[in-house]
Amino acid sequence: MSRFFTTGSDSESESSLSGDELVAKPVGGNFGKQPLLLSEDEEDTKRVVRSAKDKRFEELTNLIKTIRNAMKIRDVTKCLEEFELLGKAYGKAKSIVDKEGVPHFYIRILADLEDYLNELWEDKEGKKKMNKNNAKALSTLRQKIRKYNRDYETQITSYRQNPEQSADEDEDKKSDDSEGSSSSDGDDDDEGMSAAAFLKKKEGAGEGRGKFLKKIEDEDEDEEDSDDDEEWGSSDSETDSESDEDESKYTSLASKFLKKTGTEEDKKGLEKKREEKAKKKQDRKSKKYEDDEDDNEGGEWEKVKGGVPLVKEKPKMFAKGTEINHAVVVKKLNEILQARGKKGTDRAAQIDLFHLLVGIAAENNLGIAIDVKIKFNIVASLYDYNPNLATYMKPEMWKKCLDCIDELLDILFANPNIFIGENIAEDSENLSNSEQPYRVRGCILTLVERMDEEFTKIMQNTDPHSQEYVDHLKDEARVCKIIQRVQTYLQDKGTTEEICRIYLRCILHTYYKFDYKAHQRQQGPAGDSKSEQDQAENEAEDSAVQMQRLCKFIYAKDRTDRIRTCAILCHIYHHALHDRWYQARDLMLMSHLQDNIQHADPPVQILYNRTMVQLGICAFRQGMIKDAHNALLDIQSSGRAKELLGQGLLMRSMQERNQEQEKIEKRRQVPFHMHINLELLECVYLVSAMLLEIPYMAAHEFDARRRMISKQFHHQLRVGERQPLLGPPESMREHVVAASKAMKMGDWKTCHRFIVNEKMNGKVWDLFPEADKVRSMLVRKIQEESLRTYLFTYSSVYDSISMEILSDMFELDLPTVHSIISKMIINEELMASLDQPTQTVVMHRTEPTSLQNLALQLAEKLGSLVENNERVFDQKQGTYGGYFRDQKDGYRKNEGGYMRRGGYRQQERQSNY
């Protein structure tokens, strides 16, 4: 008898407890929901009187069988459901259990279930393969069984110490029960059943078997378990008897897996059984393959490899005998386009179909307009090949795209009677009538803009330090050539808006490149060129002239703020790159971009930051130290120069930036060949800060309200002071800090050695186009600022000092020294006067001593303290009476003894003169 009729059911087990009468039927069958319809006479003969103990224990055993079956097929959800029912049934049988004691089979299922769940929990690979419901049920059931088993720890421990003995006891009980059940089975066989009922049960069994096999595939059981379950699910009487024997033999999960010493006959018997099982499995597989082959002969089904998605059959281009004309080709083109973007569409096959359609149109001489229309769609499908925005085009697809756009441009230049545009409706297209101008819907400018974006994306996603990046960069010449061709085409046939857009593309590929040919022509007359290519490059238009022409057109004709803003920023960048400082500065100030740039989109803000940085570097090369520092201050003081220039992302927590924002910011990054050297940028900023900050610190050494010009520079100084062991400088920052310390002492030669040396030349100064010019400017600035620092620091030591000595000391010519000292005296930075006949500087010695400075600071602090106290008192009392009101802050007007530093100097200066 099949074991499908011997599984347990909750509803039937509960209904069997409703009365003393019991109809003999398959015990707890899952699929035998409808009982057999028997006559009253038959029911009378079937009546059996059973005790409450038997009923309760039978209910428990049925539930335990269901749990064991669920354990075999790894259905943890079913185990959880049946375990909850088992707990309820055990609660109903509590009065009987108190009299008889806890049954051994109940302890055994608790122990086996806990072991089983622990085994599943430790199997990491198996847990990954579980579906969501089973995984959730596993954790829930594991917690419940551990909590439930605490009440039965002693019984479970004794069972685990001697599992075979408890299994034998239950086996004896089971054999007694089986005798009774066999007699009842015999009665069932004698009685028989109706044909309809039998067929109904058979169908139910077949469905159950299908479900069961499906569960096995989902849970990915090992071969041995699946073999057992398949044998268990078959209707063969022989396999039923084998599975019954196995179940009677292994009554517990623990005893089944315990090592046993068997005889040779038992081993032979086991081997024989395995061979028979393997043979039956092979027969079933072969039969299955034969059935598949029979199905294939009918031409309806096709066997495919598992895991490979089904590829739809390519649509036939045209049936035999079809007259190929414009309408048919356009219809087929629309059919292919309808599949675009749908799930399961093979994009590569779609591109091949377009190429095939071009060939068919050319064979049938359908005209050039239909070729243009199909080629527009080919380029669009190449762009759509990658469904994700972040992914970039593969090299072969990129090459196909460039070739196709070149072919399209060749056709458009060769046939001026073809008009293209996005505003042409498909109904008004003219693809066949050659007497009128051809009209095709499409926009070549959109394709070129997308091509430029794809090129940027390729450069962003390529390792910049690999040869592959260099190979991809070689394509830029081809991209620029295509942009130039489209520019020429649109100048004749495009609108003003389209011309502005293509001009901007041309500007974006030009503004960051240094024009070495134009630079050489500015330096002096060029020699004889060695090749025709050099001559052609020398005769070509300067980048400055080209930028001026393109940007002026955009300034005059553009109606969108974004294109004009980008053009202005690129123009300023190009001026600054070529040392045209005054033009770049004036253009920046006239544009007023700094007032509202915060409202622009992030790519434009990145371009603005790059322009400001280039402007600061240009000012530094020209010797405008203060302007350079002001231009670089915002970028460098933020500490996020890399991110603000679009040259990389800083590590941040997920709270500040989620993954989606990070992907968007990565797409805004500037390609590596357009990067600005961050070390050069920082060095320029720190050197500018040093040349401004060190003289200022020397002039305001004792000033309590001294402000910092550069916080980052002060931070580097503090870091240098904290170092316990000062060795020779290694990094660029250490060189600048060491040079600052030397300049503080007025030692310009040591400062010069730290700033200009082989290491710094290799890292920074040699990267400038005119490196020698920059180095000579730096030396001169260091000499001048060291002279000013020396005078600020040591003016209190001298009564007078000769300018000739200062000139020799700092290796400056006499007029320069005279100019520097005169400016210091005029700006009231140095309290001295020049003695023209003797060429000496006479010090007035009006500077307060350090003790006097401290006294002045104390007086100022005490005055502010008293004033604050009076204000607090006034708020409480409501009147501002007292000393300060009568005096009217007299000490602030130099009436009393408290005077600030400036007032002190002013009074002394009046008495001296």
Range in 300-314, 551-565, 604-618 the model is least confident about: 300-314
Dist. CA 173–CA 151, nearest whole Å: 25
Can you tell me the distance from the alpha carbon of 349 to that of 571, in angstroms, rounded to the nearest whole number? Answer: 45
Residue of higher predicted confidence among 807 and 276: 807
Phi, psi of 335 (to 5 degrees): -60, -45
Beta strand ranges found along 386-499 (DSSP E)? 418-421, 438-441
Q: Is it the case that residue 308 has pLDDT exceeding 80?
A: no
Residue 105: pLDDT above 70?
yes
Mean pLDDT of 877-888: 51
Is residue 891 domain-resident? no
pLDDT at 9 exceeding the cut of 70: no
pLDDT score recorded for residue 689: 93
Residue 101 in any domain: the answer is yes
Per-residue pLDDT band for 213 (boundaries 50, 70, 90) equals very low
* Whole-number pLDDT of residue 671: 92
pLDDT digit string, tens, across residues 217-248: 444 444 444 444 444 444 444 444 444 445 44
Long-range contacts of 456-463 (CB under 8 A, 24+ apart): 456/671, 457/392, 457/393, 457/667, 458/392, 458/393, 458/398, 459/671, 459/672, 459/673, 460/392, 460/666, 460/667, 460/669, 460/671, 461/392
Give the pLDDT confidence score for residue 265 in this predicted structure.
66
Residue with tokens 């307060």: 848
Full domain range(s) for residue 111 = 52-161
Section 685-709 average pLDDT = 84
Any domain includes 106: yes
pLDDT on residue 260: 56
Last residue of a domain, one of 161, 194, 209: 161
pLDDT for position 229 = 44
Work out whether strand 418-421 and strand 438-441 pair parallel, antiparallel, or are unpaired: parallel
Answer yes or no: is 878 within a domain. Answer: no
- Give the percent of the chain with pLDDT over 70: 72
pLDDT band at 585 (very low <50, low <70, confident <90, very high): very high
Residue 321 — pLDDT band, cuts 50, 70, 90? Answer: low
- Which position has the higher pLDDT, 734 or 186? 734
Q: For residue 833, give the 3-state DSSP assignment.
A: strand
Please give the distance of CA 149 from its chain centroid, rounded to a whole number: 48
Q: What is the CATH number of the domain that holds 805?
A: 1.10.10.10
Q: Write down the pLDDT at residue 629.
A: 93
Contacts of 229 (CB under 8 A, 6+ apart): 72, 73, 212, 213, 216, 221
379-410 pLDDT, tens digit each:
888 888 877 777 888 888 899 899 999 999 99
Question: When comparing pLDDT for 690 and 250, which is higher?
Answer: 690
Can you say whether the dihedral through the CA atoms of 9, 10, 11, 15 is positive or negative? positive
658 belongs to a structural domain: no
The share of the chain scoring above pLDDT 90, in percent, equals 27
Q: 688 and 631 in contact (C-beta within 8 Å)?
A: no
Gap between the Cα atoms of 210 and 219, Å rounded: 14
pLDDT in tens, 896-910: 444 434 444 444 444
Q: What would the DSSP string read from start to end of 855-892?
A: HHHHHHHHHHHHHHHHHHHHHHHS---SHHHHHTSGGG
Owner of token pair 């999960």: 253
* Structure tokens belonging to residue 539: 């005769």
Mark which of 110, 129, 161 sits at the end of a domain. Answer: 161
Q: If pLDDT is split at 50, 70 and 90, which confidence band does 98 have?
A: confident
pLDDT digits (tens, 9 = 90+) for 819-853: 999 999 998 888 888 888 888 988 887 666 778 77
Q: What is the pLDDT of residue 628?
A: 94
Contact criterion met (CB below 8 Å) for 619 and 627 = yes
d(CA 539, CA 546): 13
pLDDT at 726: 79
As given in the structure block, the two tokens for residue 582 are: 């005054």
- Domain count for the chain, please give it: 2
pLDDT at 796: 81
Q: What is d(CA 328, CA 364) in angstroms, rounded to the nearest whole number?
A: 12
Does residue 759 lie in a domain region?
yes
Q: What is the pLDDT of residue 239?
A: 43
Residue 613 predicted with pLDDT over 90 = yes
Please give the pLDDT value at position 362: 82
DSSP 147-158: HHGGGGHHHHHH
Compute the mean pLDDT over every residue in the chain, rounded to the nearest whole number. 77
The pLDDT tens digits of the residues spanning 480-496 come to: 999 999 999 999 888 89
CA–CA distance, 134 with 320 (Å, rounded to integer): 56
Relative orientation angle of helices 496-508 and 561-577, to the nearest 10 degrees: 30
Rounded to 10 deg, the angle between the 732-744 and 711-722 helix axes is 90
Identify the pLDDT of residue 440: 87
CA distance 15 to 312: 54
Looking at 843, 862, 883, the residue that finishes a domain is 843
Whole-number pLDDT of residue 288: 59
- CA gap 104, 815 in Å, rounded: 114
Kindly report, residue by residue over 28-84, the tens digit of the pLDDT. 444 444 444 444 444 444 566 778 888 888 888 999 999 999 998 888 999 999 999
Q: Among candidates 507, 533, 509, 539, which has minimal Cα distance to 521? A: 539
Confidence bin at 253 (pLDDT 50/70/90) = low
pLDDT tens digit string along 861-874?
899 999 999 989 88
Q: Is 620 exposed, middle or buried (0-12, 13-18, 19+ CB in 10 A)?
A: buried
- pLDDT at 372 > cutoff 50: yes
Q: Tell whether 790 is covered by a domain.
A: yes
What's the pLDDT at 24? Answer: 43
β-strand partners of 157: none
pLDDT score at 687: 94
* d(C-alpha 97, C-alpha 767), whole Å: 92
Query: Does the structure show a pLDDT above 90 at 690?
Result: yes
- Do 311 and 346 touch, CB atoms closer than 8 A? yes
Q: What is the 3-state secondary structure (H, E, C) of 35-86?
A: CCCCCHHHHHHHCCCCCHHHHHHHHHHHHHHHHHHHHHCCCHHHHHHHHHHH
Q: Which of 467, 471, 338 is nearest to 398 (CA)?
A: 471
Query: Which of 474-486 are b and which e, b meaning 16 or more Cβ less than 10 Å from the residue's Cβ?
Result: ebeeebeebbebb
